[in-house]
Structure 1
């Protein structure tokens, strides 16, 4: 997720409405012949190898965000008309008031066209982006109103995306209150055959509050890992985490004069999870949403401590290359493969650890939790609602970069990309093992 530096005169209002989480280092990115050379996550995911089989062509990914700029060189020809739900702002779905939505679209569908082929790529460059612009929370004036507007608008955004052909719905936004109308919209999306991915938030090192819609039943909650394939310090953890993807030092298309930015956070990880689903779906267009998600879960790089999941990376790190080359049995077409839907719908849900409850038999074998110290999912579905009722309305959060990389048109990006920051890994007192399948140096 992403940020501009706010105007000084609006500092108090900005603080009241948003918790800006500035991710990444302040240095500009490293000098390189092309932006693609900076995109370590594409190398780690063996993108070029996958692109020989598919680029995600034929799949529409909805980006519910701040708008998407179709004039960005790396996104020309990839952006559909979309819908504007930010009624108080000028422009439309193609007017990105923050640059964040364009960045997420770039990570999903960037074509590398900037500078005559020296630009940045998305993981699924053949996919199409359906932009749905959400209201700017800075216009709300206070936290409660911002949260209210978000939850009132998001159901419409999700339903619009589904009704306009989006098989994958990317929500790289988060806030602290769930809402029954959002839950109903997610169920609508699943029943209509779509998948919904959302970032779990970037306050893992600042209280780790449960964030929505990632914690909404039926939404695939995505955490972020760094170059070392461990949870980044800011990535939130808990039973709401279903999978993880790279979310550190990400070079991608975005707003601004140069059209390139660097960012870190669960927003970026969510975009890569969404793009992964697009790749798998493009090769298997007859699979249902449940089958696509099941294959993704079956092929994750899983924890190695004997558990089937942990609260830092969920069931593991997304590996679309493996999902494409060795998908295994996609399983039943009409059974959602994660336990949260059944647990939430149960009149007396189990208090066993997430994945070990009665919904576990619907999860793929590689994604079941046989135990561990995970907080029960029911704690999210029931307990969190009670806790949040006594708390202040949460702020709508976008996982953000510290600043945009100034990118000269002739040199793409300049500076030095930092190494992983200290403190990455498990929360205090826990372990955070990550499977490294050994698919080449730095690969997974």
Structure 2
């Protein structure tokens, strides 16, 4: 029995086992006023010193695969930036009954990563990165049956097509008996030099969802506008990193021309993926292991390391790009697996994926191993922001944005899939 299967069986009660597919970004009640206001509401870009980082790196040359319910390549900020890959949804047996979720979830993830901000749209943290969209889920999908097998195929497809970073902002309670197949796909990606980021889940419970719980996948939790762990963010010993995931503007599910306030570990995962793209673009000779190592070493934290709430801390690519911090270390040792006493998959025939394809040539659609500290932290500490991100707290713009959004957003309605 695999480690993540044992963890699942030992920690999930009857109630959780019955939970359907969970997405990590949820639809909030009120739309953001106008497209022109979107950039001003992206508080995390200012907190992360994005404008300064873009003078050093914009993610150019890095392809990020978005495994989701699809990406709409016609929205202004993604035009000419998206390559449409395979559609594996015919192999999913979860169905698509109910739910108002649409392709906007994947579209928002892609925009958080690589949006250009055109026509008042979302500005991505890595605006020159390339998006490779692979459809693995259907709107309103219920259950995880068949999804692990689909994700396995999608991961291999993403790596074979040149993706260096793989973003999975969907999750659930189990792999539906396909854990070994999925683990083999993860190991394949790691051998080829890619990085995989996945969302921990949005129930605020001590259970990291599948596939984020799988060894080799970087499980990403969410931080709020004050840099503290978000109340909805799932936690546990498998959490690797955290990123901004609260009050993020995103295109509304029912009307893509409008923007709604979003929250969830989905958006946090996308921002972590974009952070990796920024660093990798600036250091193209580094392996995925080295990129991940400097992300872990420079992450913001204040408490136990790793923390079961934010793992090794909140991502801070500015520490690497602007301050030159972080030791890339050995190229062939996965720092997250090493920190947990697990071996890294041996490099395959190709230590790194092939060069990322350009939108023009591929027919784009639409035009450190830190030592293990105490892993126990009281729940009260999480609720009060134990292990927070000090860099973000001091950013005055975040405070202003919280006030503006608080006046616009009514009651947030959590969805199980977004």
Q: TM-score range by the shorter chain?
A: 0.7 to 0.9
Query: Is 2:319 aligned against 1:311?
Result: no
Partner Cα separation in structure 1 for residue 42 and residue 146 of structure 2: 35
Contact kept, 8 Å, 2:48 with 2:392, in 1: the verdict is no
Query: Is 2:408 aligned against 1:433?
Result: no
Aligned match for 1:100, one of 102, 105, 129: 105
Q: Considering only aligned residues, what root-mean-square deviation do their CA atoms show, in Å? A: 2.9
Q: Call closer, same or farther: CA 1:135–1:439 in 2, change over 3 Å.
A: closer
Give per-residue Cα distances to partners, 1:174-202, cap 9 Å, x unaligned: 11114111111111000001000000001
Aligned match for 1:147, one of 144, 147, 165: 144
Q: Call closer, same or farther: CA 1:137–1:17 in 2, change over 3 Å.
A: farther
Query: Is 2:374 aligned against 1:371?
Result: yes
Structure 2 match to 1:177:
174
What are the ranges of 5 or more consecutive residues in structure 2 without an aligned counterpart? 1-17, 93-100, 345-367, 399-418
Q: Call closer, same or farther: CA 1:183–1:374 in 2, change over 3 Å.
A: farther
Contact kept, 8 Å, 1:80 with 1:131, in 2: the verdict is yes
Structure 1 match to 2:30:
27
Structure 2 match to 1:157:
154
Partner Cα separation in structure 2 for residue 372 and residue 181 of structure 1: 29
Q: Call closer, same or farther: CA 1:55–1:253 in 2, change over 3 Å.
A: farther
Structure 2 match to 1:420:
none
Q: Call closer, same or farther: CA 1:130–1:32 in 2, change over 3 Å.
A: closer
Q: TM-score with structure 1 length normalisation?
A: 0.71
Q: TM-score with structure 2 length normalisation?
A: 0.75
Deviation of the 1:308 alpha carbon: 2.2
Structure 1 match to 2:191:
191
Q: Call closer, same or farther: CA 1:68–1:31 in 2, change over 3 Å.
A: closer
Q: Which moved more, 1:331-340 or 1:36-45?
A: 331-340
Aligned match for 2:62, one of 59, 62, 80: 59
Aligned match for 1:135, one of 128, 134, 137: 137
Deviation of the 1:120 alpha carbon: 1.8
Structure 1 match to 2:356:
none
Deviation of the 1:27 alpha carbon: 2.7
Contact kept, 8 Å, 1:293 with 1:337, in 2: the verdict is yes
Aligned match for 2:333, one of 314, 335, 347: 335
Deviation of the 1:240 alpha carbon: 1.1
Partner Cα separation in structure 1 for residue 102 and residue 89 of structure 2: 10
Deviation of the 1:372 alpha carbon: 4.6
Partner Cα separation in structure 2 for residue 22 and residue 324 of structure 1: 28
What are the ranges of 5 or more consecutive residues in structure 1 without an aligned counterpart? 1-14, 90-95, 347-362, 376-423
Partner Cα separation in structure 2 for residue 19 and residue 439 of structure 1: 29
Alignment partner of 2:122: what SS? coil
Contact kept, 8 Å, 2:36 with 2:121, in 1: the verdict is no
The equivalences for 1:15-414 within 5 A come to 17-18=20-21, 23=26, 25-30=28-33, 33-87=36-90, 97-114=102-119, 118-136=120-138, 138=140, 146-178=143-175, 179-204=179-204, 207-253=205-251, 256-258=255-257, 260-303=259-302, 305=303, 307-325=304-322, 326-339=324-337, 343=341, 363-364=368-369, 367-373=370-376
Deviation of the 1:293 alpha carbon: 0.4
Give per-residue Cα distances to partners, 1:83-138, cap 9 Å, x unaligned: 1112279xxxxxx9432111100110110112xxx222010110010000013275
Partner Cα separation in structure 2 for residue 425 and residue 24 of structure 1: 27
Partner Cα separation in structure 1 for residue 288 and residue 373 of structure 2: 25
Contact kept, 8 Å, 2:308 with 2:375, in 1: the verdict is no
Deviation of the 1:152 alpha carbon: 1.5
Deviation of the 1:309 alpha carbon: 2.3
Deviation of the 1:59 alpha carbon: 0.3
Q: Call closer, same or farther: CA 1:313–1:211 in 2, change over 3 Å.
A: same
Contact kept, 8 Å, 1:66 with 1:133, in 2: the verdict is yes
Partner Cα separation in structure 2 for residue 322 and residue 337 of structure 1: 18
Q: Call closer, same or farther: CA 1:137–1:254 in 2, change over 3 Å.
A: closer
Deviation of the 1:148 alpha carbon: 2.3
Alignment partner of 1:295: what SS? helix
